[in-house]
Amino acid sequence: MTLDDTHDPALRSWVASAQAEDTDFPIQNLPYGRLRPRADPQAPWRIGVAIGDQVLDLREAAARGRWDAATAARLAPLADGDLNALMARPSAERRALRAALSAALAEGSAQQAALAPAVAPAAAFEHDLPCRIGDYSDFYAGIHHATAVGRLFRPDQPLMPNYKWVPIGYHGRASSLRVSGDAFPRPLGQVRGEGDAPAFGPSQRMDYELELAFYVGPGNARGTRIAIDEAEEHFFGVGLLNDWSARDIQAWEYQPLGPFLSKSFASTLSPWIVTNEALAPFRRPFVRPAGDPAPLPYLDGAANRAAGALGLQVETWLQTAAMRAAGQAPVRLSQAEVADAAYWTPAQLIAHHSVNGCNLQPGDLLGSGTLSGPGPGQAGSLLELTVGGREALHLPDGSERRFLQDGDRVVLRAHAQREGARRIGFGDCAGTLLPAQ
Amino acid sequence: MTLDDTHDPALRSWVASAQAEDTDFPIQNLPYGRLRPRADPQAPWRIGVAIGDQVLDLREAAARGRWDAATAARLAPLADGDLNALMARPSAERRALRAALSAALAEGSAQQAALAPAVAPAAAFEHDLPCRIGDYSDFYAGIHHATAVGRLFRPDQPLMPNYKWVPIGYHGRASSLRVSGDAFPRPLGQVRGEGDAPAFGPSQRMDYELELAFYVGPGNARGTRIAIDEAEEHFFGVGLLNDWSARDIQAWEYQPLGPFLSKSFASTLSPWIVTNEALAPFRRPFVRPAGDPAPLPYLDGAANRAAGALGLQVETWLQTAAMRAAGQAPVRLSQAEVADAAYWTPAQLIAHHSVNGCNLQPGDLLGSGTLSGPGPGQAGSLLELTVGGREALHLPDGSERRFLQDGDRVVLRAHAQREGARRIGFGDCAGTLLPAQ
């Protein structure tokens, strides 16, 4: 990834709120979401771009703007709500569209008058998932999470012998993915009982998991593989993912084939996909702790090392039902640096996933695994923050948490910032746990 | 499931080959597949019904036949290749369409002249997957397989303590599912090495797994669940599934989150879905071995017990490249009774999968898990037949197998028969292992 004019921190938009210091969506960001006007529930879904506290509606923009033929062709599927069509295109085309949108939204653009009617407040739109997700795979790249959880289950061997070699992952459930704002009932299931027989009922150990969502670009044909140094080309962008987990169901079901119903009841995604291009200024060197093995050759390449790791800060916030009723804002439970938390880069996950000939398709979702930093207050799950439920968290409403309670709302946030670049963010990824049905 | 006129063993079709003793597709079967004429690769996909060695092309049949309004409405999406639309309908509608097709294909039908041009040899069609598969979940319901494999990995505890309580399953990869006739390269991957470091290269322990493919009907909304006694309504039909497995990749990667790249390179499905209705005459009582626990209430219901288990015979056949070159037919490696092999019924798998609120959608695929009988020559994988590669199988071409070799073609077959019913079959589910790329 190289930087271009769209990353210039001095670039300003004619959408005034994009200049706000604390906005997640300055003109340097330009993330994509799938949405439609709340006022018209019959309106077709379309792709929009967040800009300040507004949205550029690409259905309106395609119709009202003046675009060269190549840009018009790229906008056409987006006007119809199909982000996968853009994801399938080469990165050069994705960069060209970004440049066209950046120019159109920049101060002084000749398009301002034509496009102003295509801009409306973000609150005027409802969101769907940002793209069609054919397959969802969830990785386990958070090494401090893997170590902490492993310690609870296997004190003698927290990290498996394969951990530093294999980007561990498993297949997830695509049908129950929902966009931020979702609410879902506490799942029922089997849990370990007193004797041989299990108990059955609502999970008593409900948890969240703070993850990044990596979206696949063009992908590969089945039977071929994506080389590590080509993997950035197939890394479309990033969202937030809450991989809700029922720890008691998981502990009883997961041997020998892994988590299943402990995860498949719901997973929540943020509405916006921040593109790989937007994140270019925030890359960091990919470093391995001293003494750790070098990645195998298929996971190690000059271009991958040059592209580096993601530089992002991630946070978890909690708002109980009582806090909501009292008008109290969510409280932050954790924050972590992704570069500290993730043992593998998105490119390594893509290269690994396809090395056996498995075909990745545009819009496929790769979860990072829970992202926990090495220090206190940096863990991306309650399981870690409460040491398996043994140490309660004390909340501003006077209650305490070992696991989630009904009505709890969990909000994931992320942003990228560094000297000399405009800070960009991801918006909220929020979900609420309802009582069991 | 109750029997009706479509099951009458005396029923004959005006398609002569449907009367052949050994056909898989008498008029009592009527499975659905997605296909198009080989002569016209631009032709749209459509649904067809196998009848003897012919296919009733529902695109042609919808246009040429005389159908009442309700039947015409059910045929319309099938004419456009959309089986999911039928899968989403209540079983009463699925039964009504089966009755209409049975009547139209029966000897003496007034539709014979109109529909004769809609019937063409099966060999004249190419197949796609029979439906859109949103999510693929793979279960582990074959108890003799689970015991035999468990013995290889964990001699002290072949079956986990959860096995007889939880229908163990995990999420599979949907993108690499292909229809019978597929060929794919031997996968590359990490395998356990001599020291701490793994080795990397083509899998040396390639295997097949003989499974049934259960297709979901209407399904459930997320946050709701399918009660055990309603689960048959959501069980659309059955195909064959080869869950190809790279045992050496699996052994190194599967802890702690289960199989991933050891499976996701390819899975092969049979072209035809034999409907739940067609299998009604072959149901058997659902019995648990003496001393085994009764299923928990959410997995146990009067209607489920009345519907019973599937009565099917399944077989694996192998043809090496040398056998193929010499004109030798495949040799049978195993056969087993599904009722002996499967610890859970399809209805139990459906009820379990949705008990946590996970939404099942029309066309979703549930693999049964490898179906092995309790006796010798009944195991549905090489891992079992060769005791983890320790005992070679001797083949008619003079070669031996511990695991699959390049060029090996594996064919899965199944049929249902009993006194007083017409035997029905599934057609071949064939796939070929190619050299690593």
CATH number at residue A203: 3.90.850.10
Stretch 207-266 of chain B: residues touching chain A, C-beta under 8 Å:
222-225, 246, 249, 252-262, 264-266
Same domain, B157 and B82: no
- What pLDDT, in 10s, does the model give residues B120-171? 999 999 999 999 999 999 999 999 999 999 998 788 889 999 999 999 999 9
Same domain, B233 and B380: yes
Q: How many CB atoms lie within 10 A of CB A382?
A: 28
Contacts of B41 (CB under 8 A, 6+ apart): none
Say if A294 is an interface residue toward chain B (CB within 8 Å): no
User: Which residues on neighbouring strands pair with residue B210, listed in sequence order?
Assistant: B242
Residue from B168, B175, B356 to probe the interface with A (highest A Cβ count within 10 Å) = B356
Task: Say which amino acid occupies A257.
Answer: L
Same domain, A291 and A369: yes
The CA R_g of chain B, rounded to the nearest whole Å, is 22
Strands B177-179 and B267-269: parallel
Domain end marker among A128, A151, A177: A128
- Secondary structure (DSSP) of B286-348: ----TTSPPPPGGG--HHHHHH-B---EEEEEEE-HHHHHTTPPPEEEEEEEHHHHBSS-HHH
**Chain B residue with the nearest C-alpha to that of A256:** B258
Residue B283 CA, chain-centre distance (Å), reads: 17
How far is Cα B307 from Cα B188, in angstroms, rounded to an integer?
44
Same domain, A66 and A183: no
Domain end marker among A61, A96, A128: A128
> Are the C-beta atoms of residues B268 and B173 closer than 8 Å to each other?
no
Residue from A156, A244, A260, A348 to probe the interface with B (highest B Cβ count within 10 Å) = A260
Residue A319 CA, chain-centre distance (Å), reads: 20
Q: Per the CB < 8 Å rule, is B355 touching A176?
A: no
Same domain, B113 and B221: no
Residue A166 has its nearest CB partner, among B184, B252, B265, at B252
Q: Per the CB < 8 Å rule, is A253 touching B166?
A: yes
- What pLDDT, in 10s, does the model give residues A13-66? 999 999 999 999 999 999 999 999 999 999 999 999 999 999 999 999 999 999
- What pLDDT, in 10s, does the model give residues A251-305? 999 999 999 999 999 999 999 999 999 999 999 998 899 999 999 999 999 999 9
Same domain, B117 and B190: no
Residues of chain A with pLDDT under 50: none
Percentage of chain B beyond pLDDT 90 is 96
B376 burial class (0-12, 13-18, 19+ CB within 10 angstroms)? Answer: exposed
Same domain, A219 and A245: yes
Q: How many CB atoms lie within 10 A of CB B147?
A: 15
Same domain, B298 and B356: yes
How far is Cα B363 from Cα B135, in angstroms, rounded to an integer?
8
Q: Could you say which of A7, A127, A144, A145 is catalytic?
A: A145
What residue numbers bound the domain in which A87 lies? Answer: 5-128
How far is Cα B361 from Cα B108, in angstroms, rounded to an integer?
38
Task: Dig out the tokens for B27 from the structure.
Answer: 């008029």
A384 annotated as belonging to a binding site for a ligand: no
Which regions of A21-135 does DSSP assign to beta strands (E)? Answer: 32-37, 46-51, 54-57, 119-121, 125-128
Min distance A153 CA to chain B CA atoms (Å) = 10
Is A145 considered catalytic here? yes
Q: How many CB atoms lie within 10 A of CB A200?
A: 16
Say if A352 is an interface residue toward chain B (CB within 8 Å): yes
Question: For tokens 């017990």, what's the residue?
Answer: B305
Backbone angles phi, psi at B216, to 5 degrees: -85, 140
Task: Dig out the tokens for A381 from the structure.
Answer: 């799950």
Strands A125-128 and A119-121: unpaired
How far is Cα A81 from Cα A70, in angstroms, rounded to an integer?
18
What is the 3-state secondary structure of B226-278? CCHHHHHHHEEEEEEEECCEEHHHHHHHCCCCCCCCCCCCCEEECCCEEECCC
**Chain A residue with the nearest C-alpha to that of B219:** A175
Stretch 101-140 of chain A: residues touching chain B, C-beta under 8 Å:
134-135, 137, 140
**Chain B residue with the nearest C-alpha to that of A249:** B356
Residue A77: name the closest of A34, A54, A38, A46 by CA: A46
Helix (H, G, I), strand (E, B) or coil at B77: helix
Please report the pLDDT score of residue B1 as a whole number: 59
> Are the C-beta atoms of residues B364 and A175 closer than 8 Å to each other?
yes
Residue B232 CA, chain-centre distance (Å), reads: 17
Stretch 356-415 of chain A: residues touching chain B, C-beta under 8 Å:
356-361, 364
Min distance A222 CA to chain B CA atoms (Å) = 7
Please report the pLDDT score of residue B2 as a whole number: 74
Q: Fill in the DSSP letter of residue B60.
A: H
Same domain, B119 and B180: no
How far is Cα A180 from Cα A431, in angstroms, rounded to an integer?
6
Residue A163: name the closest of B190, B153, B187, B200 by CA: B190
How far is Cα B406 from Cα B277, in angstroms, rounded to an integer?
39
Same domain, A78 and A96: yes
Q: Per the CB < 8 Å rule, is A356 touching B189?
A: yes
Min distance B306 CA to chain A CA atoms (Å) = 24
Task: Say which amino acid occupies B112.
Answer: Q
Contacts of A381 (CB under 8 A, 6+ apart): A145, A149, A207, A208, A209, A210, A245, A370, A372
CATH number at residue B87: 2.30.30.230
Please report the pLDDT score of residue B396 as a whole number: 87
Residue A358 has its nearest CB partner, among B176, B297, B355, at B176
B164 burial class (0-12, 13-18, 19+ CB within 10 angstroms)? Answer: middle
Same domain, B373 and B285: yes
**Chain A residue with the nearest C-alpha to that of B200:** A296
Same domain, B69 and B142: no
The counts of H helices and E strands in chain B are 12, 25
Domain end marker among A77, A108, A128: A128
Contacts of A161 (CB under 8 A, 6+ apart): B196
pLDDT tens, position by position, for chain B (437 residues)? 578 999 999 999 999 999 999 999 999 999 999 999 999 999 999 999 999 999 999 999 999 999 999 999 999 999 999 999 999 999 999 999 999 999 999 999 999 999 999 999 999 999 999 999 999 999 999 999 999 999 987 888 899 999 999 999 999 999 999 999 999 999 999 999 999 999 999 999 999 999 999 999 999 999 999 999 999 999 999 999 999 999 999 999 999 999 999 999 999 999 999 999 999 999 999 889 999 999 999 999 999 999 999 999 999 999 999 999 999 999 999 999 999 999 999 999 999 999 999 999 999 999 999 999 999 999 999 999 999 999 999 998 999 999 999 999 999 999 999 999 999 999 999 999 999 99
How far is Cα B59 from Cα B273, in angstroms, rounded to an integer?
18
Strands A46-51 and A54-57: antiparallel
How far is Cα A408 from Cα A406, in angstroms, rounded to an integer?
6
Burial A26-58 (b: 16+ CB within 10 A, else e): bbbbbbbbbbbbeeeeeeebbbbbbbbbbbbbb
> Are the C-beta atoms of residues A129 and A268 closer than 8 Å to each other?
no
B194 burial class (0-12, 13-18, 19+ CB within 10 angstroms)? Answer: exposed
The number of domains in chain B is 2
